[in-house]
Chains A and B, each alone.
Chain A
Amino acid sequence: MTIPFLTFLLERAPYLLFVLPVTAGAYFMLAQRNVLLSFVGLYLIQTGVIFFYVLLSVRRDAVIPIRLEGSSGPYINPLPHALMLTAIVVGVALLGVALSMMRRIQIEDGSLQENVRRREPKKSTRGRT
């Protein structure tokens, strides 16, 4: 029972690059009450998905898909890399929007914690900490 399962895992060991960031990201998104940490979790999940695509392109004994002198196929699949270039750009745009909103939350509420609002008495610090 355990041996086939272990074999299954070991055969797919590179996919740990996908599983680990996604798991860590899910933990950050679910367990953290700080919006910055939640966003870090989201970014980890996106990174995991990017690794997933890149892993899809791998072939045994293949070379990078650039024609150089003396190199002749098999090449790895270049399409996932091209797709992920776009996804990374989207991620950067997302980072910008998220940071600007976080800055605004920090200015309004003085905190990035989810349970802190300026309207609530006593908790409002409004300081530039």
Chain B
Amino acid sequence: MSLFPILIFLVPFSGALLCAMAGWWWGHAARLIALASLGLMTGLAVAAGGEVLATGTLHTHLGGWAPPLGIEFVMDPLTVLMTVLVSGSAFLLLVGLRDGTRLEVEGRETAFYALTLLLVTGMTGMVMTGDLFNMFVHLEVTSLSAYALTGAGRPGAARAGLRYLLVGSLGASLYLLGVGFVYAGTGTLNMADVAAHLTHAPPDLAVMGAALITAGLGVKMALFPLHGWMPPAYSASTTPAAAVMAALVTKVAAYALLRILFWVYGDTGFAIDLSLLLTALGWAGATAIVVGGVLAFAQNDLRRLFAYSSVSQMGLIAVGLSLANRDGLTGAILHLANDTLMKAALFLAASVLFTRFGVSRIDQLGLLRGRAPWTITVMALTGASLIGLPPLAGFFGKWYVLMGALDAERWVFVAAILAGTLITAGYVFRIMEPLLFADKTPAVSTTAPAPSSEEPPDSRSEGSPGYLAASAGFVLALILLGLLNAPVVTHFVRAALPEGF
């Protein structure tokens, strides 16, 4: 019994409530409260990590009710990794998104910060909970905050938000139905307890439950072909909201799927045979890698391009999961962390390009040449990580998944990963080319609407100090996660894998 999990959960939750109340009296309070609670949460998550490494997995029984009757929060090394990732990225993003929030959500900052904190609360709950129904509740808290963040944007955002709501809630209903099947089969909802009872459950119910849960979470993690909600949602919302959501929401859903498939079903060495489901997941992922990459290549809007890039990266994660071997799982988990950091850095850059320079499309990128050296560097390094160049973190996630695919002798998946790498290189070069190489016809400014024209861009500074620090933080994290991937894999990923992997 440890207090850390519940404290980590309560800090952003009370922050959200405080934000909503204090923000109406004093407008600046919301940002201060949000930053303070996310900073405190990151600190607590790191401290909990120390305790987990020292003493092993932490359990908190909510209300003192012992599982399986009560709900428990569990923190093992993998949970620590995800919690630090969620809280740290959210903190850095809010630090870096100062311009975006000031310009784009002006007057609604209180609501923006409160919703962001609620989003983080929901995701923390999803990461830590050890109970299938509690997972549904946190999934809905996360999703409802995300719908509201999406819908509160420019004209047209409400449509994208409502579409996200319809598709996303359908996914949540499928998840709930799947949990119902699992409950009907095992009579319990606690994950560890379900795992213990699965061998006696009717196989039909257990397989049906797993399929429905996978479909439901597949919608939430934008797994091809269930990704349709994501590009409109991330391109129509305000750039700060898009950055916060794109970095985290889909990854936490993928983490939930990983937990249920391998810690609940895989814990007994797949006594319930899920091979058909895993194969379907793998093919969906392999298709996503290629199709997502091609669609990303075809986009002109920067944020749509990044969103389709996320579809492709989620495909890689799905392939890693479907392999159900040690390397595949390691790669999928590492790539969850990588894609969080990469999408955070890219959407942060997109936000600043939009608010400072009025640039949101690739054909406008030529305007930036020589004016935004720092942002171009960040985008180049992150792009290199997306492609998978070795010292950066993106390489290692892809490498482990590739090793897992070779190990399982799934040659089509190997081919898809390699082809996906080429396509990724294609769309990254498509972004970098107008930024780095001069062409003679800069016929770009004619169509640029310059949305932030009321605040003429300062040619000398390309962003607030907070932005420079935050994007430096993300790039540094990418480099460090790449260089230190061996200890991360040993202590946080493989230490947490269930027996038999």
Distance in Å: Cβ of B62 to nearest Cβ of chain A: 14
The answer to whether B177 touches A97, judged by C-beta atoms less than 8 angstroms apart, is: no
Distance in Å: Cβ of A65 to nearest Cβ of chain B: 15
- Say what secondary structure dominates the interface of chain A: helix
The answer to whether B180 touches A56, judged by C-beta atoms less than 8 angstroms apart, is: yes
CB within 8 Å of A: which B163-187 residues: 165-166, 169-170, 173, 176-177, 180, 183-184
The answer to whether A46 touches B155, judged by C-beta atoms less than 8 angstroms apart, is: no
The answer to whether B173 touches A46, judged by C-beta atoms less than 8 angstroms apart, is: yes
Distance in Å: Cβ of A123 to nearest Cβ of chain B: 15
The answer to whether B173 touches A94, judged by C-beta atoms less than 8 angstroms apart, is: no
The answer to whether B170 touches A101, judged by C-beta atoms less than 8 angstroms apart, is: no
The answer to whether B177 touches A49, judged by C-beta atoms less than 8 angstroms apart, is: yes
- Say what secondary structure dominates the interface of chain B: helix
Report the stretch among A6-14, A68-76, A102-110 that lies at the interface.
A102-110
Report the interface size class on chain A: 20 to 34
Given contacts A53-B180, A56-B184, whether A108 and B156 have CB atoms under 8 Å apart is yes
Report the interface size class on chain B: 20 to 34
| Cross-chain contact of B166 among A42, A83, A118 (Cβ < 8 A) | A42
The answer to whether A101 touches B166, judged by C-beta atoms less than 8 angstroms apart, is: no
Q: What mask results when residues 146 to 170 of chain B are scored 1 for a CB within 8 Å of chain A, else 0? A: 0110010001101101100110011
The count of A-to-B residue pairs whose CB atoms sit within 8 angstroms is 70
19 A–B pairs (Cβ distance < 8 Å), ordered by A: A39-B162, A42-B166, A42-B170, A53-B180, A80-B183, A87-B136, A90-B144, A93-B144, A94-B144, A94-B169, A97-B148, A97-B151, A100-B151, A101-B151, A101-B161, A102-B162, A104-B158, A108-B155, A109-B159
With A and B bound together, what is the CA distance between A22 and B151 in angstroms?
27
| Cross-chain contact of A105 among B148, B159, B169, B176 (Cβ < 8 A) | B159
| Cross-chain contact of B169 among A42, A53, A56, A117 (Cβ < 8 A) | A42
With A and B bound together, what is the CA distance between A45 and B176 in angstroms?
11
The answer to whether B165 touches A101, judged by C-beta atoms less than 8 angstroms apart, is: yes
With A and B bound together, what is the CA distance between A109 and B158 in angstroms?
10
The answer to whether A98 touches B176, judged by C-beta atoms less than 8 angstroms apart, is: no
Distance in Å: Cβ of B205 to nearest Cβ of chain A: 11
Distance in Å: Cβ of B409 to nearest Cβ of chain A: 39
Measured CB to CB, the nearest residue on chain B to A118 is B155
B58 at the interface (CB under 8 A from A): no
Distance in Å: Cβ of A47 to nearest Cβ of chain B: 10
Distance in Å: Cβ of B191 to nearest Cβ of chain A: 15
B133 at the interface (CB under 8 A from A): yes
Given contacts A49-B173, A83-B133, whether A105 and B180 have CB atoms under 8 Å apart is no
